[in-house]
Structure 1
Amino acid sequence: MNMPAQTNSNQECLTQAKLDEGMGAMNLHESCNVTKADIKTDRVDYAASCSIEGMTTLFEGYATFHGNRLEGKMSSDMNTPLGPMKMNTEYQGERVGDC
């Protein structure tokens, strides 16, 4: 089943102290485990596995950094009661000012 594209916008304050936490800055659910974190100055490649309420989800993606902005893609493979589902996400972010 194909679903129509959806757009969401979010704004949050990321301080240097939070960024210094590395992967801890991602605020992952407690049942998630980071399985890949290849962090470079201009790109991060990552993967995680989560098991929430009996559903297993595998995430894999990347982000590229361009000064005050970033962009990336992520795919999610979910094992749901309705059967396997795949979700593809494209995202972008930009610095909008001080916290």
Structure 2
Amino acid sequence: MPDTMSSIRWHPRGPFFVLHGQYRQRYLISPLLNGASFMYKQLIASALLVGLIATVQAETPNLEPGLWETKATMRGEGGFPMPEQTHTSTDCMTEEDLAGGDAFFEDVEQCEFERREIRRDGADFEMNCSDPSGMSMNMTATMSFHGDTSEGTIRAELETPMGPMTMVTTLEGRRIGDCP
């Protein structure tokens, strides 16, 4: 089974997922979906980007600027169990990144927020998304910020042509030094 996290990394600037690489396109969750067009990874990336950073009256997160190592572990539950897949990356987070919430705003097509909140000690959001192919997703996220560490969980309940599926992503971040 290919590494479904290869096109997404958890970014400490918020923290949130950021698609990396040359292309922003639709990705499959795994071969288990057999050709489904649902944009799970892109939606997580955009949802966290908007939900955790672009809240107008947000407090500055309790995260220290510097070089951060981040780890995202994704697993499938329910009728479509999937082996855990983990991706680790490093990124530089500046004071401007922490203070500039609106700079990270990005539209999330096909999604609507039910709730979003960012605080000094963490962030929470819930959103619903739908795909023209008839798939839908309810995603909730909870993040905690601790200065030089952060952690969180994203839970996505998906309705697919093959039946319901749950994807859980666990996030861990830690400051490992100054930016180069």
- Quickly name the TM-score band, shorter chain normalised: 0.7 to 0.9
Cα drift, residue 74 of structure 1:
1.2
Residue 51 of structure 1 aligns with which residue? 130
Gaps of 5+ in 2: 1-79
Letter in 2 for 1:9: T
Superposed displacement of residue 27, structure 1: 4.4
**How far apart, in 2, do the equivalents of 1:11 and 1:28 lie?**
25
Deviations 1:18-42 (A, max 9, x none): 75235x7374632222221122110
Q: Any unmatched runs of 5+ in structure 1?
A: none
Q: Say which of 169, 173, 178 aligns to 1:89.
A: 169
Give the equivalent residue in structure 1 for 2:149. Answer: 69
Q: Which moved more, 1:2-11 or 1:60-69?
A: 2-11
* 1:68 positional shift: 2.6
CA RMSD of aligned residues (A): 2.6
More strand by share: 1
- Residue 98 of structure 1 corresponds to 179
- Indicate the structure with greater helix content: 2
| Contact in 1 for aligned 2:155/2:167 (Cα 8 Å) | yes
Partner amino acid, structure 1, of 2:101: E
**Partners of 2:116 and 2:162 in 1: how far apart?**
30
Letter in 2 for 1:6: Q
TM-score (norm 2): 0.46
Residue identity opposite 2:179 in structure 1: D
Distance in 1 (alpha carbons) for counterparts of 2:88 and 2:115: 26
Specify the structure having the higher radius of gyration (Cα).
Answer: 2
Equivalent AA in structure 1 for residue 147 of structure 2: G
CA apart distance, 1:81: 1.0
| Distance in structure 2 (CA, Å) of the matches to 1:34 and 1:25 | 17
Distance 1:67 1:18, change over 3 A: closer
Residue 39 of structure 1 is aligned with which of 118, 132, 136? Answer: 118
Q: Percent identity?
A: 29
Is the contact made by 1:19 and 1:25 (CA closer than 8 Å) also made in structure 2? Answer: no
Q: Give TM-score, length-normalised by structure 1.
A: 0.76
Amino acid at match of 2:86: T
Deviation at 1:95, TM superposition (A): 3.9
